[in-house]
């Protein structure tokens, strides 16, 4: 009996040690924060953070370098063709239903999402999670959602977002989230409206750098700066576009009966089944400033062919050029927003790359490295929490694990 009691005491001690050592991770997204925004001498807070932690030269997005596909690739470790969200807007050709990031009902419908987000992996392993915005974090599936989450509302001030996270971290230990996400759109909003080389984008960069500083100072106030691993990332970069560099694909194909999906750097075309080759050959013969591929011929390095929702023909614009239809010509030619900068182009082009900065007990100090892949962040998170990743992911720990202590 005495031995049994000692054994129970031993197990209790081991359990308390494991609880005490359970890490914290705060994953922060600055949407559209291009990799070289850190080189403009207007980000003193981020510079201090990576001087005490890790900075990559850049963070390579997946293709297409759009917001929803990339945020979901970051959190699932999968390419868009595998996690299901292939672009910001796409159709299920079988049911004629559309997924649109502007449609809250479709965005919250779990049937579109094939990957497992890290917060679900964490929850299965007894780790409490919280999301103050992240694409797919508010899906209508209790197994898919964070323990605590906020429905997206871009009007919520940045300071309120940070304060809410600090409140989550200030809860009693048994109720406290150990994995938390935060999201800010400033650099994406201003990058689209004014372009990545404008004085206005520098204001947005400086504003988000202040957010980074406020996050650190707030963690210090609650005595958790040395306990929380903070990872700052972005989903993609930004490049300048011009209203003089438009290609109206709908006008070009006016003699054909086709469906078009997406505008800008990427467009998908679905002709009638018996006219796919004809439309493809016609587009190929007129392909100036854009590339034309049949779905199965999209280069493997894009990982953008093995999904039934990708149309039969895929068009990819050259950098700075935009593919449009009749409906969206005005969006690219008028004096409204979304006409000075864009993203979604070839993810190997540096203008499309985001940034990666991390600091905390799990990371090396004063360490700089080359380009990292955003699909490798999911296995990195699993390593930090010492849990097993899903076996069907595309991310690989061996490409990123060296940044850990």
Q: Which residues are catalytic?
A: 67
Nearest-angstrom CA–CA distance, 88 and 74: 15
> How far separated are the first and last CA of the chain, in Å rounded?
43
Q: How distant is the alpha carbon of residue 55 from its chain centre?
A: 18
Beta-carbon count within 10 A of 186 CB: 21
Rg (CA), the chain: 22
Nearest-angstrom CA–CA distance, 144 and 185: 23
- 166 three-class SS: helix
Nearest-angstrom CA–CA distance, 241 and 255: 28
The β-bridge relationship of strands 54-56 and 356-359 is: antiparallel
Nearest-angstrom CA–CA distance, 144 and 110: 8
Look at the block and give the residue holding tokens 């940044």.
403
Token duo for residue 171: 């809860």
Number of H helices, E strands in the chain: 13, 20
Among candidate residues 329, 341, 241, 330, the one with its CA nearest the CA of residue 289: 241
* Contacts (Cβ under 8 Å, ≥6 apart) of 226: 361
Identify the burial level of 233 via C-beta atoms within 10 angstroms of its C-beta, where 0-12 means exposed, 13-18 middle and 19 or more buried.
buried
Question: Do the beta carbons of residue 245 and residue 318 sit within 8 Å?
Answer: no
């Amino acid at each position: 009996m005495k031995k049994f009691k000692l054994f129970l005491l031993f197990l209790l001690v081991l359990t308390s040690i494991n609880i005490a050592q359970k890490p914290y991770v705060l994953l922060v997204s600055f949407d559209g924060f291009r990799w070289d925004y850190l080189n403009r001498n207007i980000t003193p807070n981020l510079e201090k953070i990576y001087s005490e932690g890790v900075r990559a030269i850049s963070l390579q997005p997946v293709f297409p370098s759009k917001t929803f596909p990339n945020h979901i690739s970051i959190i699932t470790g999968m390419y868009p063709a595998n996690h299901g969200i292939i672009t910001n807007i796409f159709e299920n050709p079988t049911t004629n239903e559309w997924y649109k990031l502007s449609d809250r009902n479709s965005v919250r419908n779990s049937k579109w999402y094939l990957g497992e987000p890290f917060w679900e992996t964490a929850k299965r392993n007894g780790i409490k999670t919280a999301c103050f915005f992240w694409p797919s974090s508010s899906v209508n599936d209790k197994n898919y959602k964070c323990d605590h989450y906020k429905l997206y509302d871009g009007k919520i001030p940045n300071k309120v977002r940070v304060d809410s996270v600090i409140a989550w971290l200030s809860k009693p230990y048994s109720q406290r989230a150990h994995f938390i996400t935060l999201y800010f759109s400033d650099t994406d909003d201003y990058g689209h409206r004014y372009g990545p080389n404008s004085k206005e984008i520098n204001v947005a960069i400086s504003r988000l750098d202040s957010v980074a500083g406020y996050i650190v100072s707030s963690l210090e106030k609650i005595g958790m700066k040395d306990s929380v691993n903070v990872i700052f990332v972005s989903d993609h970069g930004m490049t300048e576009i011009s209203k003089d560099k438009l290609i109206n694909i709908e006008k070009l194909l006016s003699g054909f009966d086709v469906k078009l999906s997406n505008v800008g750097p990427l467009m998908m075309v679905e002709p009638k089944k018996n006219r796919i080759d004809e439309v493809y050959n016609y587009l190929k013969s007129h392909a100036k400033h854009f590339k034309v591929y049949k779905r199965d011929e999209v280069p493997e390095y894009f990982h953008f062919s093995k999904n039934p929702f990708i149309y039969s023909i895929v068009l990819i614009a050259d950098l700075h050029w935009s593919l449009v239809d009749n409906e969206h010509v005005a969006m690219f030619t008028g004096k409204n927003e979304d006409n000075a900068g864009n993203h979604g182009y070839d993810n190997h082009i540096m203008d499309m790359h985001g940034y990666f900065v991390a600091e905390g007990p799990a990371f090396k100090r004063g360490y700089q490295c080359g380009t990292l892949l955003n699909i490798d962040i999911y296995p990195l998170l699993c390593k930090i929490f010492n849990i097993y990743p899903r076996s069907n992911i595309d991310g690989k720990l061996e490409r990123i694990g060296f940044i850990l202590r």
